[in-house]
Amino acid sequence: MFIGKKDVNKAELLALMEQVKSKPLPQHVAIIMDGNGRWATKRGLPRVAGHRQGVEALREVIKTSDELGIKYLTLYAFSTENWKRPATEVDALMSLLVEYLRKEIQELNSNNVKISVLGHVEAFPPIAQREIANAVEITKNNTGLNVNIALNYGGRAEIVRAAKAIARDVLDKKISLDDIDERLFSRYLYTAGIPDPDLLIRTSGEFRLSNFLLYQIAYTELVFTDSDVLWPDFDKRAYLEAIMEYQRRQRRYGGLIADEGTV
Ligand code: FPP
């Protein structure tokens, strides 16, 4: 199902909000925020203007997740492949991240949001690492919405890293080979202790996972927006519609539901 772009007024938004709240909500929503560059190019603006506008969409999605009582929000902000972009764009993304954290951390903290990071941030410029560490530290005891920001993250790299750490622990005799099962493996991922996403949303009409949460999304419901909904266009209504699409799905985890006939 595609989520399209429509105009919506405040009353409609409130009604949508109530409708979404009346049904089971995803506990964990993961988002591939795609299309910032195209949003800017369509307007004759530099790509970084799209990323800047993308931050506004991000703020709205965090706010709405909080209002709905969603417990975990995981955002793909910078992949291991994003280093291939021109240095000017990479630098702009780093600056935007630093600016965003500096500007928003107090408000996020006062809203009880807990920030965590998934990925190898040690490769980021020291100033970005400091700001990230600060945001994680300030919010570490918060008990509201968990916002996980994937930075220098790649699903395959995460799995390889986990396999290495497990091998190391076997060699060091901290665990035995027979201890290794899916539960134990999960504990070696960046997402240790976080339930798997119930819903994954990708904007901009691309049907790819782009190396995001490969281990964790085995049974996740996938929702892709229309190609005219680029990340900066992803407003509250689009988010609520994506959740409504999730609420229409029947999750079976490989099993059957009650009325699927007799054997
Ligand atoms: C994809 O659009 C988006 C990104 C690679 C970066 C996402 C970043 C933000 C939303 C803002 C910065 C994040 C934080 C946490 C402050 P694209 O550039 O691939 O778009 P395109 O496919 O149209 O080129």
Residue ranges covered by each domain of the chain: 25-154+196-250
Catalytic site includes residue 148: no
Closest CA relative to residue 48, chosen from 36, 57, 31, 33: 36
Ligand 1 neighbourhood includes 52 CB (under 6 angstroms): no
pLDDT at 66 over 90: yes
**CB-CB contact of 39 with 262 (8 Å):** no
For ligand 1, the distance from its centroid to the CA atom of residue 32, given in whole angstroms, is 9
Q: Label residue 215 by pLDDT band (50, 70, 90).
A: very high
Q: Label residue 110 by pLDDT band (50, 70, 90).
A: very high
Q: Helix or strand or coil: residue 49? A: helix
Instruction: Kindly tell me the number of DSSP H helices and DSSP E strands found in the chain.
Output: 8, 7
Q: Helix or strand or coil: residue 154? A: coil
Mean local confidence (pLDDT), 146-175: 98
Mean local confidence (pLDDT), 235-241: 97
For ligand 1, the distance from its centroid to the CA atom of residue 52, given in whole angstroms, is 9
For ligand 1, the distance from its centroid to the CA atom of residue 223, given in whole angstroms, is 18
- What does the alpha-carbon distance between residue 37 and residue 105 come to, in Å, rounded to a whole number? 26
Tens-place pLDDT, residues 112-138: 999 999 999 999 999 999 999 999 999
Ligand 1 neighbourhood includes 51 CB (under 6 angstroms): yes
Tell whether domain 25-154+196-250 is in CATH 3.40.1180.10: yes
| Ligand 1 atom 18 nearest Cα | 37
Catalytic site includes residue 7: no
**pLDDT score of 250:** 80
pLDDT at 260 over 80: no
pLDDT at 7 over 60: no
